Amino acid sequence: MKQDGLLDELPSRFSKTAWGRIGAFCGALWMRLLLAPMEGLADDVLRDILTRIGGYDWGVTEFVRVSGTLLPARAFRRICPELERSSRTAAGTPVRVQLLGSDPGCLADNAGRLSELGPAGIDLNFGCPAPTVNRHRGGAALLEEPKLLHAITQAVRRAVSAEIPVTAKMRLGVRDTALTLDCARALADGGAEGLVVHARTKADGYRPPAHWTWIGRVAEAVAIPVVANGEVWSEADWRRCRAESGVTDVMLGRGAVADPFLASRIRQGLPDSGRDPGAEWRCLESSVLDFWQQVGRKVAARHAPGRLKQWVNLLRRCYPGAQALWTQLRDARTAPDVSRILAVSLVDPAARLAA
Ligand SMILES: Cc1cc2nc3c(=O)[nH]c(=O)nc-3n(C[C@H](O)[C@H](O)[C@H](O)COP(=O)(O)O)c2cc1C
């Protein structure tokens, strides 16, 4: 099933007046929506599904860890198979590749090699809170070393040609916000041309709330575009995030996975009150099957059920249909079990046929 413009097929309780459409169109012109990097969750398969549903200006891959060696091209292509397709998903959405490391020289060498593969951009990770990553002086741990952030960004910027955007993604700090602005300035002065701010410290983990007002403080401190990120699960959240932060561009993380139509709805100016979860779910059923088939081709059969359950588990937040599917999938252990459940559970006849 072709999924571009899926939202158009959904019954809508909004009046699609000319003024409404013009307003949404103008809004879409001056704001950007980005799909967040999510290691172990949003790989090329999910990026493909989500960007076909649409609404994103670009997405960012999971991080490629750089530590001490010059990685072969296949290491970048493994995380970003989109490099084979001009760094775009099948729907044509650009995908930037994220690097994580702490050695400016080594990151620069790897960025140079990556740049030969034609990435839509290179993003630097200063937000990962994982203890194993932080122990090796990577991700959010570097937010205590603004000078190092500057050195890394400068080295990477110098290693790649000017037409490849170099951006950075940061949290507010390790334990507190004492160095937030110093870090942001270090990244901007180092040559980052954009900054995504996940509005929590490493210590906050993924616990709500996200401190959106801090994103505004960062935006005032630097002269580069700042993108807001954290805890945007709905159109109303998106509005509040923009109002509280004062920035126009937003990166969607888990909200994009739980509600695959979120970006399209925001783009079309459709509020949450007009959602029709039943109709959306019927559209999503073929995406769920598509996901299952792609995952089956990509990962070992024993890992495939876990991947599907991970997505359906998040979809449960937004869709009663996903809750029903989850109840059946929860105890399924093998790929054939999952295939059987999908074949009988999904309503869409075309989807059933494909299963
Ligand atoms: C499972 C998972 C994996 C993530 N992996 C990455 C990553 O590889 N690189 C990165 O910069 N951020 C990563 N993040 C952080 C997200 O990009 C985002 O900043 C965070 O989830 C906050 O946004 P949200 O509240 O909209 O989900 C990850 C988050 C999750 C939940």
Q: 49-74, pLDDT tens digit by residue? A: 999 999 999 999 999 999 999 999 99
Asked if 243 and 207 touch (Cβ cutoff 8 Å), the reply is: no
The mean pLDDT of 86-113, rounded to a whole number, is 98
* Residue type (1 letter), 244: E
DSSP-derived secondary structure letter, 342: H
> Does ligand 1 lie within 6 Å of residue 229's CB atom?
yes
**For residue 23, what pLDDT is reported?**
56
The mean pLDDT of 10-16, rounded to a whole number, is 42
> Does ligand 1 lie within 6 Å of residue 232's CB atom?
yes
pLDDT digits (tens, 9 = 90+) for 126-175: 999 988 888 888 899 999 999 999 999 999 999 999 999 999 999 999 99
Distance in Å, CA 12 to ligand 1 centroid: 31
For the CA of 127, the closest atom of ligand 1 is 11
**For residue 24, what pLDDT is reported?**
56
Peptide bond into 209 cis (omega under 30): yes
In the predicted structure, residue 10 carries a pLDDT above the cut 60: no
> Does ligand 1 lie within 6 Å of residue 286's CB atom?
no
CA-to-CA distance for 132 and 136, rounded, in angstroms? 7
- Residue with the nearest Cα to atom 28 of ligand 1? 38
DSSP-derived secondary structure letter, 197: E
Give Cα 292 distance to the centre of its chain.
20
Q: Is the dihedral of CA 192, 195, 196, 200 positive or negative?
A: positive
Q: Where are the alpha helices (DSSP H) in 80-145?
A: 104-115, 131-135
In the predicted structure, residue 316 carries a pLDDT above the cut 50: yes
**For residue 332, what pLDDT is reported?**
96
- High-pLDDT (> 90) share of the chain, %: 86
Structure-token pair, residue 174: 């390790």
Q: Where are the alpha helices (DSSP H) in 71-167?
A: 73-79, 104-115, 131-135, 146-159
**For residue 355, what pLDDT is reported?**
47
Check: pTM over 0.75? Answer yes or no.
yes
Could you confirm whether domain 20-274 is CATH 3.20.20.70? yes
Structure-token pair, residue 165: 């955007």
Q: Which of 122-136, 157-171, 224-238, 248-262 has the lowest mean pLDDT?
A: 122-136
DSSP assignment string, 233-293: -SHHHHHHHHHHH--SEEEESHHHHH-TTHHHHHHTT--GGG--HHHHHHHHHHHHHHHHH
> Does ligand 1 lie within 6 Å of residue 129's CB atom?
no
CA geometry: angle 132, 95, 66, nearest 5 deg: 30
- Residue with the nearest Cα to atom 21 of ligand 1? 253
Q: What residues pair up with 169 in beta bridges, in sequence order? A: 125, 196
CA-to-CA distance for 341 and 321, rounded, in angstroms? 14
Substitution site in 41, 60, 254 for ligand 1 pocket (most atoms within 8 Å of beta carbon): 254
DSSP-derived secondary structure letter, 163: T
> Does ligand 1 lie within 6 Å of residue 65's CB atom?
no
Residue with the bigger pLDDT between 6 and 233: it is: 233
Domain chopping of the chain, boundaries: 20-274, 277-354
- Do the first three CATH levels of 20-274 and 277-354 match, i.e. the same topology? no
CATH class assigned to 277-354:
mainly alpha
